[in-house]
Amino acid sequence: MESINELPNHLVALIMQQLPIDERCRCCVVSKAFNTLNSHLQLGPALHIRPQQVADAHFASWAAGRLTGVTGLHVLPCQSAVDRIAQSNLTAGLCALLSMCGGGALKSLTVSDTISLSQLALRHLPGSLEEVSLSVAFDDSCMENKPHGTYAFPASMPHLRRLRLQVTCMNVRSYGLVTMPSSLPTSLETVWVGTRARGRRIGPSLLMPKASDLPNIKEIELDATCFICHEGDSSLAAFLSALPKLESVRLRSDVRAVDYQSALTHLRGLKRTHWEAL
Amino acid sequence: MRNIVLRANDGADHVISVAAASLCKTVASLLQDLEASKGEDTDPLIVPLPNVCNCTLQKVLGFCEQQRAFDELCTASPAAQQADLTRQIQAWQMEYMQVSTDELYHLVMAAHYLNVPRLLDLCTDAMAERIRGKSPAQVRECFGLKPSLSPEEEEEIRRSNLWALN
């Protein structure tokens, strides 16, 4: 029988490219030829990893130096309850991986919304990102919106255009009010923010940022029991009217709290407005 | 239209359509050279393929003829039927790839030499499928590989790939 070892290296490389990275790594102990081929493996441009890999220190040390070509990092959902990993381990692992994606190549980060990270993850996002989708969960401290607090974006994220953020409050004792993270990048064009509460029947309300924090926003989509605005904006309609580039608004809120339908109908010059009950 | 004959390394000849031949980029390129040198001659164009055995060539040509037929069907079918057609193509390809590892080895070499990108994709995917989910020992067994690493080398490799081997 002819052997796969007799195939030219570039053909074996084509075969290996079809396999996920853990399968490729396992092949390293198959033969010398397989090891040579896989030991120089560089990851990317799109990298899909499982939560176990994110939290695995062995994976992080193996991945060091192999992530510079990754432009899109996707953390897949947990496959079963057995896969569930402590939030702190996942967050620390992800922050370590993000710090290795140097060189400004990483443009997109997507973490399955079945995985809740600590708010610390936000502070470690690389400045090169254009698109972020993740979920943070924290314990009755969602008001921690301070300029240098832990619930904040890094000081410089000049390319971030799309943000999808799920905020979950756990064990909420007080008003169930969540804020947007501080230091919102002014480059944002599309924002989706969803809120959830664990251990509480009614979901949290969302304290809106100042309109001046979102000068380039075009599309905004928010899910919360109701939306609380800063003094200067006074009402949601005033807040939305103060966003100069806004084209589309989509809101989901508790029908028993405030009727936003009428507020949206008075907005002029928007291409799309939509409200629905949570 | 001039006939095209592909000649395997054991001298066996296969007549094939120009459309099917064009899926083999190596053949298409050889044809251009041959046509230029033979001019208006109406004799069949014989393309010698010294690196491909008769059995494998037959299999490759079966792929090219079927793909050409599928291509024509895709062009002629309305959009509503495309999903059904895609399922038919996938089913045919799955059946086509029911070959031994030895045959697959020859097929991937031929697809590479004849430069048939779609067949090469299919072959490398089939090879990868035979590796997927297997332990290193099972991969060795599947491809008839003898262990080539010393225990020390294997231990060293295991240490640096712990996350995947645990």
Minimal Cα–Cα distance from A161 to chain B, Å?
A: 34
Give the confidence band of B155 by pLDDT, cuts at 50, 70, 90: very high
Minimal Cα–Cα distance from B111 to chain A, Å?
A: 11
CB contact under 8 A, B105 and A4: yes
Q: Which of A134-138, B7-11, B31-35, B83-87 has the lowest mean pLDDT?
A: B31-35
pTM, to two decimals: 0.81
Distance separating alpha carbons of residues B57 and B62, to the nearest angstrom: 8
Partner residue opposite A15 with nearest CB, options B101, B127, B136:
B127
CB contact under 8 A, A2 and B145: no
**A-to-B residue pairs, Cβ atoms closer than 8 angstroms:** 100
pLDDT of residue B96: 97
More confident residue, A92 or A140: A92
Percentages of chain A per state (helix, strand, coil), in multiples of 5: 25, 25, 50
Q: Which of A119-123, A126-130, A202-206 has the lowest mean pLDDT?
A: A202-206
- In A19-176, at which residue ranges do the beta strands (DSSP E only) sit? 46-49, 72-75, 108-111, 131-139, 162-170
Minimal Cα–Cα distance from B33 to chain A, Å?
A: 27
Q: Please name the residue ranges forming H helices in B81-165.
A: 82-96, 101-113, 117-131, 136-143, 151-160, 162-165
Same-domain check for residues B49 and B38: yes
Q: Percent of chain A at pLDDT above 90? A: 51
**Residue A40 at interface with chain B, using a CB cutoff of 8 Å:** no
> Could you tell me which CATH class the domain A43-277 is placed in?
alpha beta
Q: Residue A156 contacts by C-beta under 8 Å, 6 or more apart in sequence?
A: A127
Same-domain check for residues B72 and B26: yes
Give the confidence band of A38 by pLDDT, cuts at 50, 70, 90: confident
Task: For residue B116, give the CATH number of its domain.
Answer: 3.30.710.10
Minimal Cα–Cα distance from A254 to chain B, Å?
A: 41
Partner residue opposite B108 with nearest CB, options A7, A29, A53:
A7
Same-domain check for residues B82 and B150: no
Partner residue opposite A29 with nearest CB, options B106, B157, B166:
B157
Cis peptide before B78 (omega within 30 of 0): no
CB contact under 8 A, B108 and A11: yes
Average pLDDT (B124-128) is 95
- The residue written with tokens 């095209």 in the block is B4
CB contact under 8 A, A4 and B128: no
CB contact under 8 A, B163 and A22: yes
In the predicted model, is pLDDT for residue A1 greater than 60?
no
pLDDT of residue A182: 87
Same-domain check for residues B25 and B56: yes
pLDDT of residue B69: 92
pLDDT of residue B61: 93
Average pLDDT (B148-164) is 92
Give the confidence band of A264 by pLDDT, cuts at 50, 70, 90: confident
pLDDT of residue A233: 63
Checking B127-136 for CB contacts under 8 A at 24+ apart, the result is B127/A4, B127/A15, B127/A18, B128/A15, B128/A16, B128/A18, B128/A19, B130/B101, B130/B104, B131/A15, B131/A19, B131/A23, B131/A27, B132/A19, B132/A23, B133/A23, B135/A26, B136/A26, B136/A27, B136/A29, B136/A30
Split into its structural domains, chain B has a count of 2
pLDDT tens by residue, A42-77: 898 999 999 999 999 999 999 999 998 999 999 999
Residues from chain A contacting residue B148 (CB–CB below 8 Å): 31-33
Partner residue opposite A29 with nearest CB, options B102, B132, B136:
B136
Give the confidence band of A103 by pLDDT, cuts at 50, 70, 90: confident
Give the confidence band of A173 by pLDDT, cuts at 50, 70, 90: low
Which residue(s) pair with A163 in the sheet? A132, A191
**Residue A89 at interface with chain B, using a CB cutoff of 8 Å:** no
Closest chain B CA to residue A57? B163
CB contact under 8 A, A26 and B165: yes
Average pLDDT (A6-34) is 88
In the predicted model, is pLDDT for residue A174 greater than 70?
no
Average pLDDT (A193-197) is 90
Q: Where are the domains of chain A?
A: 1-41, 43-277
In contact, A49 and A73? CB cutoff 8 Å: yes
Closest chain A CA to residue B164? A22
Q: Percent of chain B at pLDDT above 90? A: 62
Average pLDDT (A3-8) is 74
Same-domain check for residues B76 and B122: yes
Same-domain check for residues B152 and B93: no
Range of the domain at B143: 135-166
Same-domain check for residues B116 and B153: no
pLDDT of residue B20: 83
**For residue A61, what are the CA distances in angstroms to A66, A100, A166, B16, B129?**
10, 10, 30, 54, 28
